[in-house]
A and B are shown apart, each in its own frame.
Chain A
């Protein structure tokens, strides 16, 4: 486990049960933990089913990063949900988007549902960049030398 300050540990201990509640709320009943873990793994997050389970029960040991929270919501089609808003607030994070914007992201994701699985994943990976407020990453061949 990476080295963490006492205050950080204490803060995480104080909020992780509430974080778990919101994570469960985002996933809902229609999506299994295994499915969520698989989708997050496809997006490049190193999260297993047991980690999903532990975080949802408020037993995750390492604080969730902004990227993981957003990726979690992206896989649950819950970007515009109250759960994510509360989650970000608890974690002390902010995104450069309004609630309305986030709902439109969800709408866009629904439209992607008609695409094949690999195409959906490729698009979601790119969407994450935009969501967390990063400029598109240049392709390796065009990276500045």
Chain B
């Protein structure tokens, strides 16, 4: 059976838009922006879900995607919930025919062991989105990056090396708490940004 994945179009559109999401303003304004972004991507948003323990749920099927956010949350918690929904949409997979991704208050509702690392990764990415500091997370999660190839020609070497770095970074960000902490440090993300800039410059042939 062919596995049909949901939300792929919305994810592609989100990757184009998430970098431009402003991080200023209070929690209410940031929530409005994230909500508007989801709605523009075709996600139906409901902030009045009667959840007791859950903070939010992203429910997707061939009939559409909806974001359900608990009515009991305050502004700050709602902003975090929306950031997690965005992170979830960027970094997680939704399987047909219907999939539901549940967001609990951090530290509550421990997911099964197999999902634990993914949950932590989503939380780390959500914080990067909320802080407007996407550089604190690996680029493959939110934008297109060069691919790693084994064809190391003089021209493609820098590009392929860059692709290899991104692949490595994405791999460990999804699996290691220590790497996520290290990756989110300002000095580390700044150094990585510089390496990316240099390798990108080298890989682009002079006009």
Contacts and interface: CB of A to CB of B under 8 A. Distances in A.
Nearest to B68: A126
B59 A135 contact: no
* Interface hub of B61, B64, B98 (most chain A Cβ within 10 A): B61
A136 B97 contact: no
Interface of A is mostly: helix
B52 A118 contact: yes
Contacts of B98: 101, 104-105, 108, 127, 130
A116 B52 contact: yes
Contacts of B178: none
Interface stretch (A14-22, A23-31, A52-60, A137-145): A137-145
B92 interface: no
A122 B49 contact: yes
Q: How large is the interface on B (under 10, 10 to 19, 20 to 34, 35 or more residues)?
A: 20 to 34
Given A100-B1, A119-B52, A136 B100 contact: no
A123 B57 contact: yes
Given A104-B97, A130-B98, A133-B63, A122 B50 contact: yes
Interface of B: 1, 39, 44-54, 57, 59, 61-66, 68, 96-100, 102
A101 B97 contact: yes
A137 to B, nearest CB: 7
Given A119-B53, A123-B59, 11 more contacts: A98-B97, A101-B98, A104-B97, A119-B51, A123-B100, A126-B59, A127-B98, A130-B59, A136-B64, A139-B44, A142-B39
Nearest to A129: B63
13 contacts: A96-B62, A104-B97, A105-B97, A112-B100, A115-B54, A115-B102, A118-B50, A127-B98, A135-B63, A136-B59, A136-B64, A139-B44, A139-B47
B64 A135 contact: yes
Contacts of B48: 139
Interface of A: 96-98, 100-101, 104-105, 108, 112, 115-119, 121-123, 126-127, 129-130, 133-139, 141-142
* Interface hub of A112, A115, A127 (most chain B Cβ within 10 A): A115
A66 to B, nearest CB: 15
Given A130-B63, A133-B63, A136-B66, A108 B100 contact: yes
